[in-house]
Chains A and B, each alone.
Chain A
């Protein structure tokens, strides 16, 4: 498994997969994709990186403890519920805001942040499991 080819390719492959996972996450509202699938792709990316280059490398790359990432995701998801409450609407009513950006308009919405929260929870929780299981193999 731990061949030179795999070790060399793994970082590039996982970087590509991570990028792809973000793409899948963001397009989820209109095309197949979304936070859950995106998160799973990102976890696979980390798993590949871990198998190739070791758990400590993954932990360095992730910067934060995976569970902190998961927790911040949950927080983000819950926070995205709140704006509707302040506007005196039923909880979780989606809020939309079109922000001009380099000539085009980008639609920002509370479901988007909610989906990012889902993504982070999945990435954090599952990679935390995978990493801690992998750790002993070091």
Chain B
């Protein structure tokens, strides 16, 4: 693979995984400073993706492909357009800063190496999601982000709440993943291609497909679970159990936007329908309001941010759902702005928590004097979040109001947006003002500015938010409009300005938002009490519902297990053999294909003699008084069978049969000495009759099946092949052995692996038993 150009992107995609493998070792030698070294890899990835920006701005699309499984024509292909590149830049760029931040935040943590490793795994997976061309590749990476998110949320796995949150996030996003797989496969078959590049240019094929509704529901389900849309929003605030770098990176800037990415990616082929323009804005709008209202209730700064993230994702889904070009441009700018300010704010909160020992709104205050840089970052980012001049958040809000105002059903969506943004404004003010200004509050630790590693990320992102606002015309042309074009599937390039050119409805709406926001901020404490009261009155939420659903599943599983697994060996054996007998005999009864029994009397005398030995052996087993005797007598019948093999010219088989019979008698007898069974058989006579008839049925079934098989015309192709080539190719005269070790050696590998595993399993079972009984004799067992 070349080091430059489009193909070099494969290196960029591999980079994070290499970093993941390196981190534990680097952390061992360099401690937290390993972050400086490791951050080089995402930085290089960032530069690689940056090199596409000029081309993307000209409307180009980059594609590259690697052969993966050439025999099945499966390729590892990537597709880079405005949407992919902006996402990739956010993932790798913020990823670089987060790597540094994690080094500072988890300084001296004993599992820092592991943590960074997970973080890079996630980064690689997320990059894969946004650049994948093949929908199956997209799905695989999508699932990988869910799994790495699980590992990161449960990083502090000794805490019960961490484990629960991790599991919850995995269950919710994982079930969405299943829907995604079904949706993408359906879309692939309907659209005639599994490559996004071809699917996206298929026009109205998917929209006109009879399966459109199914595809829509499945894809939307995936997007809603991943991007925490109501009613699946509950996992995201719970995911705040993860260390703050994870919250900043996965659960605000990147992973949770995968759902939004999916919707935006599929917009050209799935969007612009009545269904799309109804479902998405409604759920997005509700999520926006629910997120902000729940955010007001919180006093934990991190949870405030988590709920505003839910709200922002709702806003993005709502805007994407309008299918209006300007609204989508608004969504793009807002997504970009949100990644910058929310990533920064999370890092700020983490630094405050790290340096002052708390992140409770009521226990921090007046920190600006002690933490000026973190404070500046907080103020800048909060201004962007509130949508104020001169930050990029302001432009986002102007454009998105302009979009919703002119969209279909625009009045309703604008109402949602204004209300949500007003509450967001109030929350932004809370996050910036409460900890940093006002009277100094005594904190658990004496606060001071964080280390370079801790503050670099937040201030960089905050300043970028400012710069993007000031230079919005060029950022818009280079980065944002290409992304909008990709989402719309049609070129879109409208010049963006920081300052509104004329008095538009958007500007008035902004003023209304700010006024409302100020009012909400002033009554914040009262509102918090009211929201808390209302929630307490309702008393039920999706989070509780999740637990209830899980409990129902567990109860059902327990009941089913108890019904099926009775724990009685006799029942299991009877069930198994009844099924065998039925499978053997029922088809013969139904089809009437009974074996031809003629010629059965044409036995030689000695053959009758051996058969008689077998029958006597079986009779002896049945009448034996003691179990051990019965087992030994079972050998008689086995030897008789071995003799038959010998007579019919199968010395190898006969040989093996003799050995197997001998050993099974020995092992069965040994097993009997281990089991605490009565020496005599205690079955009732009815039970005995049942078991005997079952055995006869099974035996008769097998015999008849074999007879039927033997009576089929014999196809000699294989045996002729073996006879002909055993000597010449495999240099062996014993065809049985040659088949075992050469022609069918692969089967033999499988078989001996089974023997091996069986040996291990039996060993484990034998060892476990005595320990349960508290028998000290087991200690001797090796």
Contacts and interface: CB of A to CB of B under 8 A. Distances in A.
Interface of A: 28-37, 40-41, 43-44, 47, 59, 65-67, 70-71, 73-74, 77-78, 81, 91-92, 94, 96, 107, 109, 111, 114-115, 117-118, 121-122, 124-126, 128-130, 132-138
B734 A28 contact: yes
Contact of B759 (A41, A67, A114, A138): A67
A32 B745 contact: no
A44 B782 CA distance: 21
Interface of B: 651-652, 655-656, 659-660, 662-663, 666-667, 670-671, 673-674, 730-734, 736-738, 740-742, 745-746, 748-749, 752-753, 755-756, 758-760, 762-763, 766-767, 770, 777, 780-782
A55 to B, nearest CB: 9
B741 A40 contact: no
B756 A40 contact: no
B252 to A, nearest CB: 48
A132 B734 contact: no
Given A29-B731, A114-B745, A136 B759 contact: no
A40 B656 contact: yes
Nearest to B672: A133
Contacts of B659: 37, 40-41, 43-44
A109 B733 CA distance: 15
B759 A128 contact: yes
Contacts of B753: 74
Given A43-B663, A92-B746, A94-B730, A74 B756 contact: yes
Contacts of B671: 133
B756 A70 contact: yes
Given A28-B734, A28-B737, 7 more contacts: A29-B737, A36-B740, A65-B782, A115-B737, A129-B759, A135-B780, A136-B674
B745 to A, nearest CB: 5
Nearest to A56: B780
Contacts of A36: 656, 740
Contacts of A43: 659, 663
A67 to B, nearest CB: 6
Contacts of B736: 32, 34
A136 B733 contact: no
The 5 closest A-B pairs by CB, nearest first: A125-B759, A40-B659, A133-B670, A29-B732, A32-B651
A37 B755 CA distance: 14
A21 to B, nearest CB: 10
Secondary structure call for the B interface: helix
Given A67-B760, A125-B755, A125-B758, A34 B767 contact: no
Nearest to A71: B756
B666 A121 contact: no
Contact of A125 (B656, B756, B766): B756
Contacts of A73: 752
A84 B732 CA distance: 19
Contacts of A125: 755-756, 758-760
A36 B746 CA distance: 15
A45 to B, nearest CB: 11
B759 A33 contact: no
A34 B781 contact: no
A129 B668 CA distance: 11
Contacts of A126: 663, 667, 755, 759
B626 to A, nearest CB: 15
Nearest to B770: A136
Contacts of B742: 92, 94, 111, 114
B752 A133 contact: no
B781 to A, nearest CB: 6
A130 B660 CA distance: 13
A31 B734 contact: yes
Contacts of A65: 782
A126 B667 CA distance: 9
A132 B781 contact: yes
Contacts of A33: 652, 655, 734, 737
A92 B655 CA distance: 27
A126 to B, nearest CB: 7
A92 B782 contact: no
9 contacts: A81-B745, A94-B730, A111-B730, A114-B745, A115-B741, A117-B752, A128-B759, A132-B766, A133-B667
